[in-house]
Amino acid sequence: MGNFRFHQYQVVGRALPTATDEHPKIYRMKLWATNEVRAKSKFWYFLRKLKKVKKSNGQVLAINEIFERKPTKIKNYGIWLRYQSRTGYHNMYKEYRDTTLNGSVEQMYNEMASRHRVRCHCIQIIKTATIPSKLCKRESTKQFHDSKIKFPLVFKKVRPPTRKLKTTYKASRPNLFK
Amino acid sequence: MPFKRYVEIGRVALVNYGKEYGRLVVIVDVIDQNRALVDAPDMVRGQMNFKRLSLTDIRIDIPRVPKKKTLIAAMEAADVKNKWENSSWGRKLIVQKRRASLNDFDKFKVMLAKIKRGGAIRQELAKLKKETAV
């Protein structure tokens, strides 16, 4: 909860009406971008690939940010993505456990960057969905589907409560147990 | 030595970093390996990293992700507030807070009280020394 780098936007647009086509079809896309300007730009990028329309002969009718409906409920998110690696394009399906969709998308970007060295501009999100617990495929998300979950915090790092109290050297060796 | 304090639903924890520093919260669900869904009677339910939490010995009986009313009722039934304030950890924190909020006059009073106590101890010690010496 809090600041997300990636916001979810709904962009609605269509081609400009011409003499031959008075009422062109209206298209709606849900996409992730860091701000509204980028969202509109991404909208035209994807729409160009799907239909014969460009920003110069089209118009954006509406752009709204989509917020999480229930940010206090934990959900399992499945994200289908297409990313460009050093050798070509690949599809991938990843699962995340989070309270908000924006949070899980941000997790996805971070994970792709760390595990596969893929930067965020090389990732296209195809689809996202909240998955009910029974249909989750990954063991790492399924291991938290336990109503009596219980585990100890094994490695307890001693941290000063504010960064101002941080020191480079300590007088005694910190006790990491419990 | 096995572990005694587990992360589980109903475990009471103390926030030890960040904006919510010093607040007692209850773990109502586990999101993943690093984060928990955390709730307290006077805050909006939110997620928190385990690194910001210090687990306590207190544990209350709640179902997974309870409603606010159920949570407050369970906390009253388990008497978390009193248990915390009577525990040695809780008492230490209360004393720390009191000491930090003293004004100058209070500190003067503390100084006088310390001198008085030191004087009384030394008197008793002198008495005992005289008895053993003789």
How far, in Å, CA of A146 to CA of A148, rounded?
5
CB contacts of B46 in chain A (<8 Å) are 1, 72
| Tokens matching residue B12 | 């009471």
B19-36 per-position pLDDT tens digit: 888 889 999 999 988 999
Is 70 exceeded by the pLDDT of residue A148? yes
Nearby residues of B119 by Cβ (< 8 Å), 6 or more positions away: none
Are A98 and B31 an interchain contact pair (Cβ–Cβ within 8 Å)? yes
CB contact under 8 A, B46 and A72: yes
Distance to chain A for B95, nearest Cα, Å: 18
For the stretch A81-100, pLDDT in tens is 999 999 999 999 999 999 99
Contacts of B15 in chain A (CB under 8 A): none
Statement: residue B10 has pLDDT above 70: yes
* Residue that wins the pLDDT comparison between A158 and A15: A15
Q: Chain A 134-163, CB below 8 Å of chain B: which residues? A: 141, 144, 147-154, 157, 159, 161-162
For residue A159, which residues of chain B lie inside 8 Å, CB to CB?
A: 16-17, 51
Q: Decide if pLDDT at A178 tops 60.
A: yes
**How many Cα atoms sit within 13 Å of B22 on the Cβ side?**
7
3-state secondary structure of A29: strand
Q: Is pLDDT of B42 > 50? A: yes
Residue A73 has pLDDT above 80, yes or no: yes
Nearest CA to CA, how far is B7 from chain A (Å)? 5
Whole-number pLDDT of residue A1: 46
The pLDDT-based confidence of A162 (bands split at 50, 70, 90) is confident
pLDDT tens, position by position, A14-36: 999 999 989 999 999 999 999 99
- Which of A3, A4, A72 to mutate to probe the B interface, most B CBs <10 Å? A72
- List CB contacts (< 8 A) between A157 and chain B: 51
CB contact under 8 A, A157 and B51: yes
A120 vs A37, A43, B69, CA distance in Å? 17, 16, 42
| CB-based contact B21 A161, cutoff 8 Å | yes
Domains in chain A (CATH in brackets) are 7-65 (3.10.20.10), 74-177 (3.10.20.10)
The Cα–Cα gap between A176 and A123 comes to 39
Q: Searching chain A, which residue's CA lies closest to the CA of residue B64?
A: A147
A173 touches chain B (CB under 8 A): no
Tokens 């906390």, residue located: B75
Instruction: Return d(Cα A83, Cα A161) in angstroms, integer.
Output: 40
Name the nearest CA neighbour of B84 among B1, B12, B132, B3. B12
Q: Are B85 and B94 in contact (CB under 8 A)?
A: yes
Cβ contact, residue pair A99, B21, below 8 Å = no
pLDDT digits (tens, 9 = 90+) for B71-127: 888 888 888 888 888 898 889 999 999 999 999 999 999 999 999 999 999 999 999
Indicate the Cα dihedral angle A78, A83, A89, A92, nearest 10°.
-20
Banded model confidence at residue A2, pLDDT cuts 50, 70, 90: low
- Minimal Cα distance from B22: which residue of A? A161
Can you give the pLDDT at residue B41?
87
Whether pLDDT at A53 is above 60: yes
- CA–CA dist B119, B56 (Å, integer): 39
